[in-house]
Structure 1
Amino acid sequence: MPPHAQRNRLIEDNLPLVGYLAAETHARATHVPREELAGVGALALVTAASAYDPSLGVPFGAYARRRILGAFADEMRAMDWASRGIRRRIKETVAVREALTAGLGRTATIAEIATAMGMPEQEVSEALSDASRTVTTLDDPSAAGLISDIPLPEESALLAERRHVLECAVLALPERMRQIVQAVYIDERPVKEIAEELGVSHSAVSQQRAEAVRLLRDGLEHYFADGPAPEPVSRVSVAVREAFFARMVEIGGERIARAFRRRSALTA
């Protein structure tokens, strides 16, 4: 296959990854438009495909994921309003609040925090208000990748729900696809090594990985889509896709079952 065609194939097969990462990041940073993230991520995917060197043994999916998340982080840094001084004040105030809350067994009041820090109550109130909208970097280990230091309850709930549904979808994949997704995206093993272990070609692993990503996207959109489910993007048979949905319900329980029944009723 000519280099240009290989590059285009990488881009086409991994576009669902851009959509998934953009949706996941938007769920944690609702102030950043999902469409803007998708545009930045698509550009990062194109540049990743152009720069990718398969001889290094790094799976393209893992390589592209890092590039896309890095592009998201750069975009959000450019949008961030907080100076280092403000960030330091926020971090100190939140740390004192958490320490007092743990010691008191209840949420510390602004007056208690102000007394402990020797600060006016107004400054403490402003710092805590700023904390609710401060953007951190995606790779900040202290925040475990969360965009907000203090996520709103509805944002935390949505993030937890997305993770739960994705975990169920990964576990529901056909066995070979599940093994490949685990090896590529979680264990970050070289595709060549995975192919040798499974006794198949490098291209066969890549094709299965791409189809697994498409099937995961079908599962997520079948659960989260507003209105009838979108047209599937996976190329598997209807029987395989329906069996995948059935396993998601079996693994995820009544919550996923209700969403799928609602989607079926809207489609009927």
Structure 2
Amino acid sequence: MRAPEDRLIAEGLELLHLVAKRIARRLGRRIPVEDLVALGHPALLEVARTYDPGRSTFEAYAKRKIRWAIFDGIRRETRWRSAAARASALAASARFAEGRGADDDADVPATQEAYAARLGGLLAGHAAAMALGLVSAHGDVAAVPDAADSPEECASRAQLAQFVRDAVRELPERERALVERHYFAGERFDQIAQDLGISKSWASRLHSQAIERLGERLRPAR
């Protein structure tokens, strides 16, 4: 009975190491790859048990579950406090990308101006997502200063944190509730979606809408 699961686990081990190495690189190698692999291994076991080939490819499903497990594990570990801030930023950016979906740009006119505008909005969204992740309850930039940072850099980060929090307060009600509960209260995304009476996939799109609004506010005046 366990043969299919064992096969998927064996197939997923390579994916686990690939995801762990990529995250380690994006975190500036502040956490050893083997520690990230350990964080993601329970997720791989769950993936092998719950994978449904009718809903997704194994690679896409495994990478997504493993990535979120590693991000969550980093944020729970107090010994990785400075890395947790960066992990929160990367997780927010990844969730923004997931919520946008593959077809969001399908109706954009094929003109250079429209492409440039859409690209600018996309980059602003990722920047806003990462800023929001940094000031979240799991990775407050003011709480994890880098020893090499100057007082001016610390003050600039604190100013950004206040600006982001003020911008979040101006979001539409459901978007604000989702963002505040997830980033500032540390609540699980699926639990918030359940409380709001929406699916997790729709909550992900709602999250991306909120991030796009924040991105517009964070963009320099044009």
Q: State the TM bucket, normalised to the shorter chain.
A: 0.3 to 0.5
Q: Relative contact order (alpha carbons < 8 A, sep ≥ 6): 1 or 2 greater?
A: 2
TM-score (norm 1): 0.32
